[in-house]
Homo-oligomer: A and B are copies of this chain.
Amino acid sequence: MKTHPLESLNSASPADFTAALGDIYEHSPWVAEAVSAERPFATLAGLHEAMVRAVRAAPGDAQLVLIKAHPDLAGKAARAGALTPDSISEQASAGLDRLNAAEFARFHELNDAYKAKFGFPFIVAVRRHTKDSVLRQFERRLGHSAADERETALAEIVRIAALRLDQRVEAPDKLKLAGRLSTHVLDVHAGKPAEGVGIALYEVSDAGDAHLLARAITNKDGRTDAPLIADRPVPIGTYELRFSVADYYAARAVALSDPPFLTVVPIRFSVSEPEGHTHVPLVVSPWSYSTYRGS
């Protein structure tokens, strides 16, 4: 996706500015148009806030049109290839492009129920969610009042716009939408950070399926060279870290039982704050381990 330096956007013609940012709000270039005259923006945050003010200042009808401009999640438009490029990659981020038949039917059913009740599509910033988490949101929000849902839809639209801006514009600042997921392995048999431990990170669905997200090896500080997830929201959902503990100790010639008491240690945990830092350490010996929500 093409990115734009903030200074270029500041000096572009109004038409070019609107063309560049016309799809930050789904099918709604009028939002970019409305803030063009406020340029220059010193920061991305300033640009974002201006666009939010434009949306909030628009008449209720225009807001409703904006809401209705969004596609169904995992809906027919997606199957027909009729989504905007942003929507395509957003829905894919939560795995909504690879639903099985039953899941597709469930989304279809929820979409219909939601639209029947509220008259507009269900909107959620899917980059902040896993599939299970989207479904839980869907089910809960179906029980809300129309006024609450309209407000929630606008709030989610603002989140979506912020995430799109962060990806589209090169600026000195970021919109603080990025979370972090990290780990750390402490070897209490040797009394030092565990270097060379193989780690795999999986997303785990409620149904028990595990989807590999990342692999890493701990460095001499017992950490991974980079966080397992960074520079983006950590989707709300359940994860499993798997630590290859027996391989690590075998490589250090530590005496183990046969088979080793601990081979691969799985730590399953959930992320509830996608913009927060979730740190999940492993304090381990060949015969014990502990973990906790770290910081």
Contacts and interface: CB of A to CB of B under 8 A. Distances in A.
Interface residues of A, number: 42
A30 to B, nearest CB: 36
A83 B175 CA distance: 62
A190 interface: yes
Interface of A: 133, 136, 186, 188-193, 221-222, 236-238, 240, 257-266, 268-270, 272-273, 283, 285-295
21 contacts: A188-B189, A188-B285, A188-B287, A189-B287, A191-B285, A191-B287, A191-B293, A192-B287, A192-B293, A237-B259, A238-B259, A257-B273, A258-B272, A260-B272, A261-B293, A263-B268, A265-B268, A266-B268, A283-B288, A283-B290, A288-B290
- Residue among A189, A192, A285, A289 with most chain B CB within 10 A: A285
A293 B289 contact: no
Given A261-B269, A287-B292, 16 more contacts: A188-B292, A188-B293, A189-B285, A192-B287, A192-B295, A238-B259, A238-B263, A257-B273, A258-B272, A259-B272, A260-B272, A261-B272, A264-B268, A283-B288, A285-B288, A289-B290
Closest 10 interchain pairs by CB? A290-B290, A191-B287, A288-B292, A188-B288, A257-B272, A259-B270, A287-B293, A188-B285, A193-B295, A188-B287
Nearest to A260: B270
A283 B186 CA distance: 14
Contacts of A287: 188-192, 292-293
A140 B263 CA distance: 19
B259 A133 contact: yes
A266 B208 CA distance: 12
A67 B45 CA distance: 66
Contact of A292 (B264, B266, B269, B283): B283
B295 A288 contact: no
A243 to B, nearest CB: 10
Nearest to A273: B257
